[in-house]
Structure 1
Amino acid sequence: MKHDVRKLLSVTAIAAVLVLPQTAWAADYTIRASHSEAPESPLHKGYEVFKAYVEGASAGQIEVIISPAGQLGSIKDGLEQVKAGAIQVAQADEQTLDAFYKPMMILATPYLFANDEEANQFLASDLFTETNLKMAEEAGLRMLSAASYGFRNFTNNKHPIKSAADMAGIKMRVPPSPMSLAMVQAMGGSPTPIPWEELYGAMQTGVVDGQENPIGVIHDYSFNEVQKHLTVDNHQLGLNSIVIGEAFFKSLPLELREVVATGAVMASATEYGERNYQSRVVTVDALRDRGMEIYFPSAEEVASFRDAVQQPMQDYLNQELDPAFVTAVYDEIGNIRQQRAAAAQ
């Protein structure tokens, strides 16, 4: 009985430490974290979970300071600051990491993943783990965790896009990414790079006919006001990741590295859970209620998109990366797909 009481007192003491106010301790380490999204976003909620977990589980040895909404600059700016050691943690997405470590461009490949779970299994694979460690060694950046913020989908004002052939003649806004340009071109569309800040106006004035973004983005930025048709083809995974500076990470004692890594995984799980519900339920219904015509292609129709871009994408990747790495990625995802199919039988 005495042992149980002592154990209870010990647990109570630990719990008390975890809820002490910030001023009750002087942290041994400070993590300054940057991201580009609003304080009410699912991503920021994830960062708040990261802060709460890391500060609590480290018993105050680590203080986390979050700078949201691009206060420290763009996503790329944040990663450059992490690389320079000015801050410790920053957001990355599928379009930015390749500027620091080129093989990461593989994550932006159109129609590479059929769903979020395929992507999650690939990110947990030995192949990607090795790629991430090489990025840490060569670029000084380590991905701690990642969360899908939804697959990108096409919208336009001309007509429903039900197959790759329907892309012909459409001026489709794309981000300034060679892969996005090649994708729309391969479908017969007219890819038009437009800065994000100018996109709404470009659609409003007819400079472009359409654009492609995750459903949550289409909803949050009211693209339904200037776009009529939405095709849920899920052509490219939107992936937010939490990246830490390798030098800082290695400077932490092993037990604190585990705390930080666990906190990042919890943060990404928080973001993914909320975004997944929003993009599949709330925002679809809301966009339909606002007058958008939403089309869900059949498996055969999605295949027409995928078939149109697969070879051009592989050719492009083979030019930019080691072809053996590109083959290994496609083989890994093929194996994941087979295993998932077998498990479903």
Structure 2
Amino acid sequence: MIKLSRRAAVAGAAALPLVSVMSRPARAADFSYKLATNLPPTHPLNVRISEALANIKQQTAGKLDITLFPNSTLGTDPVMLSEVRSGAIQFFTLSPLILSTLVPASAINGVGFAFKDEKTAFAAMDGKLGEYVRGEISKRGLIAFENIFDNGFRQITTSNRPINTPADLKSLRIRVPPAALWTSMFKDFDAAPTTISFNEVYTSLQTKIVDAQENPLAIINSAKLYEVQKYCSLTNHMWDGFWLLANPAAFNKLPADFQAIVRKELNAAALRQRVDVAALNSSLQSSLAKQGLAFNNTVPAAFRNALAQAGFYKYWKGQFGAQPWSLLESYTGPLG
């Protein structure tokens, strides 16, 4: 079931037929939990999670009722992360790079220009690198489900100029999420990164607080950022996902069979969502071009070399440590 604030309802009204909306039964559920996301209702993550929650409710005979709150309805990312830790929210999907404010190791999938394609990224995150990161998340008092959702490769959009080479990033006022890895990378390109929560990105671009932002095409589309940007440079500078996080106390209160159902359905939702995002990305460039975005391709090696010369990879190897860096390079090859 989805509950939307007035703001979120307006933003997602056109897409509500795609998302299952259910009314509560007369008999209250034994467990009434919340699952929060920061994405619009139309995003494949919310569509697939909504389906999974309906399946969970059916398979538990209505005894476990998890309500989906999309579009940052329950607060900014830092607020919702705090609330899933306290138990006020029981489940939350969050980018590993933003989670790194609590779990530094979780940002490792976002090392600039590391993964050559999504197949490599998923091999790493479903394999030893993801296992390592989930262990670090567990040490900080959260459960991370096994299958990470796809957020895709991130691209740069701008209002004032296309980004063709690393030099084009110089002095660019670009919005970045609240995570050190983003700020570090764009500073090494001599850009001017500014931390802004996602629910404020559209307005910040519209009012020219910043001139640029970076996100996967699916988010550029679902958040309608093409309305306030002119150019989209296909940089593929970071691969990003969404860990599904759970409050351990709340999750462990569930009977063992309920826990198994939740894991099965939400992990399956992540796998289906990956297929959805891949299909969506294959068609989005042409549809976004029709909305007025001007696309250009870039040469990743030029950007990777610029970061290497700036000491980016050497610095972050030191930050993450030899073991996780070795795990990363076992999938990506040598970096820096």
Q: What band does the TM-score fall into relative to the shorter chain?
A: 0.7 to 0.9
Looking at structure 2, the residues matched to 215 and 196 of structure 1 have their Cα atoms a distance apart, in angstroms, of 15
Looking at structure 2, the residues matched to 23 and 223 of structure 1 have their Cα atoms a distance apart, in angstroms, of 38
Q: How many matched pairs? A: 311
> 1:218 aligns to what?
220
> 2:293 aligns to what?
292
Unmatched tracts of structure 2, length 5 or more: 1-22
1:269 to 268, 271, 277: 271
Unmatched tracts of structure 1, length 5 or more: 1-20, 336-345
Is the Cα contact below 8 Å between 2:101 and 2:179 reproduced in 1? no
Looking at structure 1, the residues matched to 288 and 108 of structure 2 have their Cα atoms a distance apart, in angstroms, of 31
Which structure has more helix as a fraction of its residues? 1
User: What is the identity, as a one-letter code, of the residue corresponding to 1:110?
Assistant: G
Is the Cα contact below 8 Å between 1:203 and 1:226 reproduced in 2? yes
CA displacement 1:215-237 (0-9 Å, x = unmatched): 23333344334433211111112
* Seq. identity, %: 23
> 2:234 aligns to what?
232
Which stretch of structure 1 is more off in the superposition, 64-73 or 45-54? 64-73
CA displacement 1:258-284 (0-9 Å, x = unmatched): 211111112223433333333320x31
Looking at structure 2, the residues matched to 107 and 224 of structure 1 have their Cα atoms a distance apart, in angstroms, of 26
CA displacement 1:226-255 (0-9 Å, x = unmatched): 433211111112312211122333344443
Looking at structure 2, the residues matched to 240 and 208 of structure 1 have their Cα atoms a distance apart, in angstroms, of 25
User: What is the identity, as a one-letter code, of the residue corresponding to 2:289?
Assistant: R
SS of 2:97's equivalent? Answer: coil
Looking at structure 2, the residues matched to 68 and 201 of structure 1 have their Cα atoms a distance apart, in angstroms, of 19
Looking at structure 2, the residues matched to 334 and 219 of structure 1 have their Cα atoms a distance apart, in angstroms, of 32
SS of 2:53's equivalent? Answer: helix
RMSD of aligned residue pairs (Cα, Å)? 2.9
Which stretch of structure 1 is more off in the superposition, 313-322 or 47-56? 313-322
> 1:309 aligns to what?
307
> 1:167 aligns to what?
169
Alignment of 1:42-81 (within 5 A): 42-81=44-83
Deviation at 1:137, TM superposition (A): 3.7
Q: Which runs of 4+ in 1 moved over 6 A?
A: none
CA separation of 1:247 and 1:226: change in aligned 2, threshold 3 A: closer
Is the Cα contact below 8 Å between 2:105 and 2:136 reproduced in 1? no
Looking at structure 2, the residues matched to 47 and 196 of structure 1 have their Cα atoms a distance apart, in angstroms, of 20
User: What is the identity, as a one-letter code, of the residue corresponding to 1:322?
Assistant: G
Looking at structure 2, the residues matched to 223 and 27 of structure 1 have their Cα atoms a distance apart, in angstroms, of 39
Which stretch of structure 1 is more off in the superposition, 193-202 or 169-178? 193-202
> 2:7 aligns to what?
none
SS of 1:227's equivalent? Answer: coil
Looking at structure 2, the residues matched to 87 and 115 of structure 1 have their Cα atoms a distance apart, in angstroms, of 33
Looking at structure 2, the residues matched to 32 and 157 of structure 1 have their Cα atoms a distance apart, in angstroms, of 37
**TM-score computed with the length of structure 1 as normaliser:** 0.78
Deviation at 1:89, TM superposition (A): 0.9
Looking at structure 1, the residues matched to 268 and 65 of structure 2 have their Cα atoms a distance apart, in angstroms, of 17
> 2:320 aligns to what?
321
Deviation at 1:197, TM superposition (A): 5.5
> 2:122 aligns to what?
120
Instruction: State which structure, 1 or 2, has the greater radius of gyration over its C-alpha atoms.
Output: 1
